Structure 1
Amino acid sequence: MPHLPQVSPTAAPRSGAYRTGRLIALTGALVGVIYGYDTGSISGALVFLSRDFHLGSTEQGLVNSVLVVGSILGAVAGGRIADALGRRRTMVLVAAAYAVFVALSAFAPNVAVLDAMRFLLGVAIGVCIVAAPLYIAESTPARIRGAATATYQVACVAGITITYFVNWGLADGGHWRWMLGLSAVPAALIAVPLLLLPDTPRWYVLRGRDAEAVRVLRLVDPDVDAESETRAIAAEIRQERGGHGGLAAMFRPPYARATVFVLALGFFCQITGINAVTYYSPEIFQKMGFTGSGQNFLLPSIVELASLVATVLALFIVDRFGRRVVLFCGIGTMLGALVVLTAVFGLTSLHGAATWVGFTALLLFTAAFNFGFGSLIWVYASEAFPSQLRSMGASAMLTADLVANFLIAQFFPSLIDRVGATWTFAGFAVLALLAIVFVARMAPETKGRRLEEIQSYWRNGGRWPSVDRSADALAAAVGAARRGEG
């Protein structure tokens, strides 16, 4: 572990005392850039590699879905790997694996080798999307945790935006190997700052390394009493280990409700159609009536720029107005955009103003997703469960997300060929409506709440206990920890 400066428990925070916390949040988020780059790069590369490898719609779907299958396996295992190795070491391993597999996929001599490399790349991505949000959330003070965790989505969207402009620049030559392989360099570089940072206080407590947890807490959040916070975390973990820990605990009271919530939210996040746009945007723009590589590669770049703005906007709102407000605004706008897209594709012919109405609706749909679902999926994945179950809970949510992602990646090309764009986007609209109903009934408002405090919501049957009861429970936990030390 890198050397951490010693801080007196009574010393006032230095002017640069929050630097480590900010650096952890930034570095963890930057891992999302390489994930976003790969997600976007395939949309451009697929146009040209399909021509070189003579792929039909089913084979095109497989190029995307095989990565998602690998991601599902990675997400399932990601929680246990992050618990065993630590959040930071797991991300270092992921960055190295990503660099290797993305480079090998760029040199693939045939589609079979490409699919194999993309499967292994998917495993690395699946582990990453569990470990990175955990790393950020567990190292960030409650008052800014929503925004800090949502920076991961900003990084993902930034990666997609970069790759769309790269695809546009390489489209004239059809250089799909460069489109796929360029992200190997930043993936290797991101491992360097990760090697210099500590792991999270909660992981150190999980491993019985309380002194290191205290030291890191003083660095990332000097406003709290590091010793008391560490004791409270340790007490909560001991309570879970006293009979409520393990995978089975996720499917029985008091956390069965939390499990239903994270599984359904993860599934709705993808099944409403965002990656149909991300993976197949050039084909969708063709169906809208746009022609030529210039338009069909430049327009997705403009869409992602708007999405990047929307995601940054979410950072300033999520900790001020709350998680539910952001989700309702995002999903509601998605629903409206999908209704417009259904109407546009229902026209007998697409030309003139109708094509630009469709483009605007697609832009709003993508921006609204990244504002709502895209930003909040990482926040809720890292908040919904206690320390002992948090990594497994994040794995469960993101696995559900990836299962829906697989269905979209594999079947969207065939679906749009067989039933048409009108009915396809109408189906997405119905699913978005169901998502709004679900959020209204199930999503808790966790703004400003400590990670340990959030567990009282699930223990109280999906309702927040009174402030006095929450405070009494926290005081009792700290007191028990102190008596245990005595």
Structure 2
Amino acid sequence: MTADQTKTSQEATGPAGPHGGSQAAARAVVVGILAAMAGLMFGLDTGVIAGALGFIGDEFHAAARTQEWIVSSMMAAAALGSLVAGRISFRLGRRRALLAASLLFVAGAGLCALAPSVAVLIVGRILLGLAVGIAAFAAPLYISEVSQESVRGAMVSFYQLMVTLGIFLAYVTDSLLSYGGHWRWMLGLMAGPAALFCAACLFLPDSPRWLMMRGERGRASQVMRLLRVSPADADAEIRDIAQELKREGGSGLAFFRSSPNFRRSVLLGVALQVMQQVTGINVLMYYAPKIFQAAHFGVSAATWATALIGLVNMAATGFAIAFIDRWGRRPLLILSCAIMTGAMVMAGGLAAVGGDSTPILGGMVAALLLFVAGFAIGAGPMVWTLCSEIQPLRGRDFGIACSTFTNWAANWLVSNVFLTVMAALGQSWTFWLFAIMNGLFIVITLAYVPETRGVSLEEIEARLMAGRKLRELGR
């Protein structure tokens, strides 16, 4: 159902009756799930390079530095894509931004699969990076704007679950295709899911909050009534949005310059995304086989150990979805960082001892699995959820563009230097450095991160603009 079809759909469904509320709730969940397919593409693109990189290096005789560029070119392009996404999302809508991302996913996957050289492969990775940057910006934003506050955390976290599902599927296909060295199939298979995602985008309605910013209150009300349990709830939410729009002035960069309170929320979003990247999670996702091989795993064993990481990542994210709207964002984020800190200390200690005995290798796998589980229950889904919740409506595109850009810029920096840093410091000190970063994340969470569970976006915005402390914006 596109936005242009909402009026017809509303007339067909009529006012909310005994079953109208449940149908609307189910419709909102389906809309959120379709948008969350962007996360599946994100995960496939993130995970697939881990298994393909070694074969690519062999075929093109690529040195370690060249391999770093093959991996990190996607992140640099994703950073640019997140900035472009802000303009697309603001002018054309969140739905069209997702549609643009899906087309880039198809084109990038095809180019990578057929690449005759490293240069062409990097171009394909750049297209995929642009797609990831746009999707990572638009999907959490869209889901947060169409979901009711009681399930908003779970719905945005479902996007992160789809990311982990994509990573897991990429690792499994990499493992199966690694026996024949079929790296082109590894990179090209994502074109199929990308085409399905493109079709799904055609059935999404426009965000009612975006429509309100465009002055289209009638269409916004129609869409909101399709997504809320009762017309009264939908109309009340529309009135709250209208009230916030009246209170604000300017947009984007102008709003950032004129509002010190908005600057605070933007800076918090930026800090959260930086901390998410320096936990070390994406380094593990991109270079897991190389990390395991450095720990004396065989090539096949390293590939399957990497697939196990993907499975744990997905399962732990499911745990986060179950509890994010029960326990809240802050407790899960603090628990997450504490687990990751302990796991990195453990991994560093095992790397310092060294050797290829069964206890050492088993302990290394356990430490990295514990680290991934810790990330998945908190730092992964909570950061994206919080960044989509804390920005005021008028500046939401600009604020989330800043935080998403920062995510990919930090992602690029960490992934681009990781192999070099590990060669210079050694595995043990590299892991211990990540442990320090995770400890710092706990301090930042305690000092600045609000508890937004069960609080409407409009309430969070009102407290922000009233000058309340950042950690007091929610409950």
The two structures have a TM-score, normalised by structure 1, of 0.92
Q: Which digits, 9 at most, give the CA deviation of each residue in 1:79-104, with x for residues without a partner?
A: 22111111112111211121011111
Q: Which digits, 9 at most, give the CA deviation of each residue in 1:153-206, with x for residues without a partner?
A: 000000000010000000011111000010001101112222122111101111
Residues 1:395 and 2:398 aligned together: no
Structure 1 residues 100 and 466, CA gap change in structure 2 (3 angstroms):
closer
Structure 1 residues 466 and 300, CA gap change in structure 2 (3 angstroms):
closer
Q: Which amino acid aligns with 1:155?
A: M
In the alignment, which residue of structure 2 is the partner of 1:229? Answer: 237
Kept in 1: contact 2:40–2:165 (CA 8 A): yes
Residues 1:238 and 2:246 aligned together: yes
Alignment of 1:29-40 (within 5 A): 29-40=36-47
What is the CA–CA distance in structure 2 between the aligned matches of 1:24 and 1:264, rounded to whole Å? 30
In the alignment, which residue of structure 1 is the partner of 2:9? Answer: 4
Alignment of 1:277-316 (within 5 A): 277-291=284-298, 293-316=299-322
What is the CA–CA distance in structure 1 between the aligned matches of 2:167 and 2:420, rounded to whole Å? 24
Q: Which has the higher helix share?
A: 2
Specify which of 183, 195, 206 is matched with residue 202 of structure 2. Answer: 195
Structure 1 residues 40 and 46, CA gap change in structure 2 (3 angstroms):
same
Runs of at least 5 residues in structure 2 that lack an aligned partner in the other structure = none
Superposed displacement of residue 397, structure 1: 1.1
Superposed displacement of residue 126, structure 1: 0.5
Kept in 2: contact 1:330–1:373 (CA 8 A): yes
Specify which of 178, 181, 184 is matched with residue 188 of structure 2. Answer: 181
Structure 1 residue runs of 4 or more that deviate by more than 4 Å after TM superposition: 7-13, 463-467
Helix, strand or coil at the partner of 1:405 = helix
Alignment of 1:347-426 (within 5 A): 347-426=353-432
Structure 1 residues 465 and 41, CA gap change in structure 2 (3 angstroms):
closer
Q: Which digits, 9 at most, give the CA deviation of each residue in 1:115-170, with x for residues without a partner?
A: 11211221121011100111111110000000000000000000000010000000
Runs of at least 5 residues in structure 1 that lack an aligned partner in the other structure = 471-486
In the alignment, which residue of structure 1 is the partner of 2:341? Answer: 335
Q: What is the count of residue pairs matched by the alignment? A: 465
Superposed displacement of residue 250, structure 1: 3.0
Helix, strand or coil at the partner of 1:387 = coil
Q: Which digits, 9 at most, give the CA deviation of each residue in 1:381-429, with x for residues without a partner?
A: 2101111111211111111111110112110111111221111111111
Residues 1:57 and 2:54 aligned together: no
Alignment of 1:13-92 (within 5 A): 14=20, 15-92=22-99
Helix, strand or coil at the partner of 2:289 = helix
Kept in 2: contact 1:42–1:279 (CA 8 A): yes
Kept in 1: contact 2:316–2:376 (CA 8 A): yes
Structure 1 residues 13 and 207, CA gap change in structure 2 (3 angstroms):
farther
The two structures have a TM-score, normalised by structure 2, of 0.94
Superposed displacement of residue 11, structure 1: 4.7
Helix, strand or coil at the partner of 2:302 = helix
What is the CA–CA distance in structure 2 between the aligned matches of 1:238 and 1:161, rounded to whole Å? 45
Superposed displacement of residue 464, structure 1: 7.6
Specify which of 263, 267, 270 is matched with residue 274 of structure 2. Answer: 267
What is the CA–CA distance in structure 2 between the aligned matches of 1:466 and 1:33, rounded to whole Å? 31
Moved more, 377-386 or 178-187: 377-386
What is the CA–CA distance in structure 2 between the aligned matches of 1:100 and 1:388, rounded to whole Å? 33
Kept in 2: contact 1:37–1:162 (CA 8 A): yes
Kept in 2: contact 1:17–1:219 (CA 8 A): yes
What is the CA–CA distance in structure 2 between the aligned matches of 1:359 and 1:466, rounded to whole Å? 39
What is the CA–CA distance in structure 1 between the aligned matches of 2:198 and 2:265, rounded to whole Å? 33
Q: Which digits, 9 at most, give the CA deviation of each residue in 1:13-71, with x for residues without a partner?
A: 52422222011111011121111001000001101000111111111110011111100
Kept in 2: contact 1:457–1:464 (CA 8 A): no
In the alignment, which residue of structure 1 is the partner of 2:135? Answer: 128
Superposed displacement of residue 10, structure 1: 6.7
Structure 1 residues 278 and 409, CA gap change in structure 2 (3 angstroms):
same
Q: Which amino acid aligns with 2:9?
A: L
Structure 1 residues 53 and 466, CA gap change in structure 2 (3 angstroms):
closer
Helix, strand or coil at the partner of 1:109 = coil
Kept in 2: contact 1:456–1:464 (CA 8 A): no
Q: CA RMSD in A?
A: 1.8
Specify which of 107, 111, 115 is matched with residue 104 of structure 1. Answer: 111
Helix, strand or coil at the partner of 1:445 = coil
